[in-house]
Amino acid sequence: GDSVTQMEGPVTLSEEAFLTINCTYTATGYPSLFWYVQYPGEGLQLLLKATKADDKGSNKGFEATYRKETTSFHLEKGSVQVSDSAVYFCALTSDDAGGTSYGKLTFGQGTILTVHP
């Protein structure tokens, strides 16, 4: 079945540092890939997505590129801020070719990011 593996956290960085959170996946067919973010006390929010190989999703300075050859979707940001402190989830769905997140989502275990001033 489908699975998602994220780098283990927690990750602690200083403000303006470079961020990478690794994500690899196993899926049948051609899944759509997502990064969700969960701020303290709030629900998961879609951060970015990519629906096919070599697509780059981007939002709020975060980027991730769909790499089919390495089955990866690593999240990056060039300069993190304290407000980026949250839990980040990598996810995929393989039953919706349209790239929307309506289908069943398979999540990674989440990575806690803490950014210090």
Nearer to other proteins, 17 or 97 (CB): 97
Least distance between other proteins and beta carbon 61 (Å): 18
Least distance between other proteins and beta carbon 47 (Å): 11
Say if residues 47 and 62 touch (Cβ distance below 8 Å). yes
Nearer to other proteins, 30 or 39 (CB): 39
Least distance between other proteins and beta carbon 16 (Å): 28
- Give me the residues that bind other proteins (CB under 8 A), please: 4, 36, 41-46, 89, 96, 98, 100-102, 104-110
Sheet (strand 62-65) strand order: 19-21, 75-77, 62-65, 56-59
Least distance between other proteins and beta carbon 41 (Å): 6
Say if residues 50 and 73 touch (Cβ distance below 8 Å). yes
Q: What is the rounded distance in angstroms from the CA atom of residue 54 to the CA atom of residue 75?
A: 14
Say if residues 116 and 15 touch (Cβ distance below 8 Å). yes
Nearer to other proteins, 11 or 106 (CB): 106
